[in-house]
């Protein structure tokens, strides 16, 4: 079954259509990228899918279930998690503590009750720590577990953020510019990590400006311009599409 279906999504700000009638699907294990010139509506689309904005039109289906406009933490509990363009790392906590935070974010709503149930809460804390260490190993940060997050390189912070999103055990992972600000080596590490996560069956939706990376790792690309989908298809197909070339040349 299709993991994520976006059907006719749209939203307007002050009467101006920021996104209009955008539809596409993401299947398990697939990497789908949304590209387009600045202001095309990529972030707005992401925000509607992940429940940050209420769409003005259309639907978001998660394994066939309508989750349109559902709060981000509820979506996370149902298997959709995301990262943000700007790092959301707690800089003065350790790497391990940041990864552990991912597990607790998933449990929002049960945390207060657990304060009155110490034994179960200790057990959970141990489980979260074990899970966090496993995730850090998966993203190549196991040796940095006890370091302060602020001391990590930018590329490592980006991987830590992906680790934290993975703590929610997502079936759909939305990545907002995972390679932004990274150098070539860091970008390649993030490439591998994303490919590995996809290979484990997670559906990945990506917004990314690094076109080389997008062309390398995507199975499918959706192109937005002025809020509308102007093309979609395999990387080779999209990159020679005249409407796509015109959209990029027209704004640069």
- Residue 75 tokens, joined: 């979506």
d(CA 244, CA 86): 27
DSSP assignment letter at 148: B
Beta strands 203-207 and 220-225: pairing type?
Answer: unpaired
Q: Which is nearer to ligand ATP, 40 or 96 (CB)?
A: 40
CB of 47 to ligand ATP, least distance (A): 8
Please identify, among the stretches 41-49, 65-73, 86-94, 152-160, the one whose residues bind ligand ATP according to the rule CB under 6 A: 41-49
Size of the site for ligand ATP (CB under 6 A): 10
Of the candidate residues 40, 96, 132, 136, the single one contacting ligand ATP (CB under 6 A):
40
Helix, strand, coil percentages for the chain (3-state, nearest 5) = 45, 25, 35
d(CA 68, CA 206): 19
d(CA 30, CA 51): 21
Of the candidate residues 10, 36, 55, 170, the single one contacting ligand ATP (CB under 6 A):
36
Q: Which is nearer to ligand ATP, 14 or 119 (CB)?
A: 14
Please list every residue from 42 through 81 that binds ligand ATP, using CB under 6 A.
42-44
- Residue 84 tokens, joined: 């943000």
Of the candidate residues 38, 92, 118, 119, the single one contacting ligand ATP (CB under 6 A):
38
Please list every residue from 143 through 172 that binds ligand ATP, using CB under 6 A.
none
Q: Which is nearer to ligand ATP, 40 or 152 (CB)?
A: 40
Interaction of residue 222 with ligand ATP, rule CB under 6 A: no
According to DSSP H, which parts of 50-183 are helical? 72-77, 95-106, 111-115, 118-138, 154-166
Of the candidate residues 3, 6, 9, 18, the single one contacting ligand ATP (CB under 6 A):
18
Q: What is the CA radius of gyration of the chain?
A: 19
Please identify, among the stretches 33-41, 87-95, 103-111, 156-164, the one whose residues bind ligand ATP according to the rule CB under 6 A: 33-41
Q: Which is nearer to ligand ATP, 30 or 176 (CB)?
A: 176
Task: Return all residues near 61 (Cβ < 8 A) that are at least 6 apart.
Answer: 2, 4, 5, 7, 67
Q: Which is nearer to ligand ATP, 137 or 243 (CB)?
A: 243
- Chain residues binding ligand ATP by CB under 6 A are 13, 18, 36, 38-44
């Amino acid at each position: 079954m299709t993991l994520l279906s976006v059907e006719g999504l749209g939203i307007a700000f002050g009467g101006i259509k920021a996104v209009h009638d955008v539809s596409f699907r993401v299947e398990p294990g697939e990497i789908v990228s949304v590209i387009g010139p600045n202001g095309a509506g990529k972030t707005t689309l992401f925000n509607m899918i992940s429940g940050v904005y209420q769409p003005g039109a259309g639907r978001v289906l998660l394994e066939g279930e309508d989750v349109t406009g559902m709060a981000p933490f509820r979506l996370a509990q149902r298997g959709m998690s995301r990262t943000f363009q700007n790092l959301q790392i707690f800089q003065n906590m350790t790497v391990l503590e940041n990864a552990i935070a991912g597990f607790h974010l998933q449990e929002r709503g049960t945390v207060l009750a657990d304060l009155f149930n110490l034994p179960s809460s200790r057990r959970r804390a141990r489980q979260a720590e074990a899970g966090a260490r496993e995730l850090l190993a998966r993203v190549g940060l196991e040796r940095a577990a006890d370091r302060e997050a602020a001391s990590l390189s930018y590329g490592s912070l980006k991987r830590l953020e992906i680790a934290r999103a993975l703590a929610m055990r997502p079936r759909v992972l939305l990545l907002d510019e995972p390679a932004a600000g990274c150098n070539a080596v860091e970008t390649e590490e993030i490439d591998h990590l994303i490919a590995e996560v996809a290979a484990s069956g997670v559906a990945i939706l990506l917004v990314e400006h690094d076109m080389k990376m997008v062309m390398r790792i995507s199975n499918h690309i959706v192109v937005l311009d002025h809020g509308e989908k102007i093309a979609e298809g395999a990387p080779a197909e999209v990159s020679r599409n005249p409407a796509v070339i015109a959209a990029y040349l027209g704004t640069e």
